Every structure is written in C-alpha cells, then in structure tokens.
C-alpha cells in the first residue's frame, strides 16, 4: 500500500513540477518579448485628464525604455535559469 501511495505522490509532484516549468517558460518568454518591444518603442504618447476635468485631455510622453530594460533583463535571466534547470533535469541520475 505504501509503495503505491509513494508512486502516486511522485507522479503528482512530476505533474506539478511540469506545470510550473511550462508556466516559467511562458512568463520568461512574455517578459523578454515585452522587454524587446518596450526598448524598441522607447516612448509612447498617452492621453491624460487635465486637472481632473472629464472634458479636457492633454497628451504626454511616457518613456518606456527603463521598463523595457528591466523586463528584458528579467526575461533573459529567467530563460538562462530555465535552460540550466532543463539541462539538470535531462542529466541521467546516478
């Protein structure tokens, strides 16, 4: 009975680990893509309400490059970490 229970627990942990692995790749890929997009866009124009009035809108430029660099750095570090984990998981166990 305990062998079967341990086998089921191991299967559950494997599926849970795989879910986090896929989620990690998705987050790292999206972060890298958004980082590249924001760095290449550099800035954007947004419309903002002027003095709280709903009738008056003014445009202002927002600098996206710092946000893009942070996202790009985080995405690349995540991808490198996931590649290392992938190599370690594929290594034959002794």
Number of domains present in the structure of the chain: 1
Name which residue leads in pLDDT, 54 or 65.
65
Tally of CB atoms within 10 A around 35: 20
Task: Report how far residue 41's alpha carbon sits from residue 63's, in angstroms, rounded to the nearest whole number.
Answer: 9
In the numeric block, which tokens belong to residue 23? Answer: 């989620």
Task: Report how far residue 1's alpha carbon sits from residue 7's, in angstroms, rounded to the nearest whole number.
Answer: 10
Q: Supply the pLDDT for residue 11.
A: 47
Q: Supply the pLDDT for residue 53.
A: 63
Query: For residue 91, what pLDDT band results from cuts at 50, 70 and 90?
Result: confident
In the numeric block, which tokens belong to residue 38? Answer: 């924001």
Name which residue leads in pLDDT, 92 or 70.
70
Residue 45 burial by CB count (10 A; 0-12/13-18/19+): exposed, middle or buried? exposed
Task: Report how far residue 76's alpha carbon sits from residue 28's, in angstroms, rounded to the nearest whole number.
Answer: 7
pTM for this entry:
0.66
Q: What is the pLDDT of residues 32-62, one digit of tens each?
A: 999 999 999 888 887 777 666 666 777 778 8
Mean pLDDT of the chain: 79
- Range of 79's domain? 2-90
């Amino acid at each position: 009975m305990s062998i079967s229970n341990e086998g089921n627990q191991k299967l559950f942990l494997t599926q849970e680990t795989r879910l986090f692995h896929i989620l990690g790749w998705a987050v790292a890929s999206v972060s890298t893509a958004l980082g590249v997009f924001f760095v290449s866009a550099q800035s954007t124009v947004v419309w903002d309400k002027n003095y709280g009035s709903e009738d008056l809108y003014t445009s202002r430029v927002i600098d996206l490059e710092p946000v893009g660099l942070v996202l790009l750095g985080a995405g690349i570090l995540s991808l490198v970490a996931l590649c290392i984990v992938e190599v370690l998981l594929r290594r034959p166990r002794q």
